[in-house]
Chain A
Amino acid sequence: AQSVAQPEDQVNVAEGNPLTVKCTYSVSGNPYLFWYVQYPNRGLQFLLKYITGDNLVKGSYGFEAEFNKSQTSFHLKKPSALVSDSALYFCAVRDIGSGNTGKLIFGQGTTLQVKP
C-alpha cells in the first residue's frame, strides 16, 4: 500500500532562515509525489510535484523539494522563510495503478511556524 509520513508535527523557524519540512514515502513502483499548503479554514493549494526527471523540483512561492530515491524522501525546502509561509503543509502520493482511482494519500501534516 502507498503511504507517506511526515515525522514532524510542527517546524519552527525564524524569518529569513532556510526551512525544511520532511516527508518520506513508501510506494510500489515509481512515486507520484506532491506538496500542498493549507491556510486556516481553506482548501489545499498545490505547491509542487515530482513525477520524473530532475530530483530538485521548483514550485510556487519560492518552495522547492528534493526527491531522494535511496532515502525514499521528498523534503520541502525554502531558502528564506517568510512569516506568511506559516501554514499547514501536506505531503501526498498519488495512488496509481490498475484499478486505483488516482486518489491522493496524505501525510499527517506539518505545521510551519515562521517567527519574525
Chain B
Amino acid sequence: GAVVSQHPSWVICKSGTSVKIECRSLDFQATTMFWYRQFPKQSLMLMATSNEGSKATYEQGVEKDKFLINHASLTLSTLTVTSAHPEDSSFYICSAAGQASYNSPLHFGNGTRLTVT
C-alpha cells in the first residue's frame, strides 16, 4: 500500500528557533500534499494544501510567513515553523494524494509532535 513517511516523529526546540518537518511519499508520486494540525483529543485542522511546483494554499487564519510550506518534488513536501513559540506546540500531520481521483483515500504520515519550550 501507499506509504507516507514523516520526519521527525517528535522534536523539542527553544522559543524563537525554526523547525523543519519533512513529508515523503515513498512508493507513489504525490501531486498534492496536505498539512494538518491537531490539538490533544481534537480533530484535525487543515493548515494548507500544497501542489508540486507551485505555492501552497493556506487556510484562513493560518500565517503563511510563519508556516512555510515547500513542495519541490513529487515525493517531498516540507513544513517549516519559523520563530516557534510555545503556542505552536502541537501535533502536525501530513497527508498525500497520489492520484487525481477523489475516489482514492488520502495517505497519512505518522505525525510530528512539536514541543516549543
Contact = CB atoms under 8 A, between A and B. Distances in A.
Contacts of A36: 108
B43 A43 contact: no
A5 B41 CA distance: 16
A106 B43 contact: yes
Interface string B49-76: 1000000010000000000000000000
Main secondary structure of the interface of B (DSSP, over half): strand
A111 B42 CA distance: 10
Contacts of A103: 34, 46, 49
Interface string A96-110: 100001111111110
Interface size class of A (residues with CB under 8 A): 20 to 34
B26 interface: no
A44 interface: yes
8 contacts: A43-B111, A46-B105, A90-B44, A101-B49, A104-B44, A104-B46, A104-B95, A104-B106
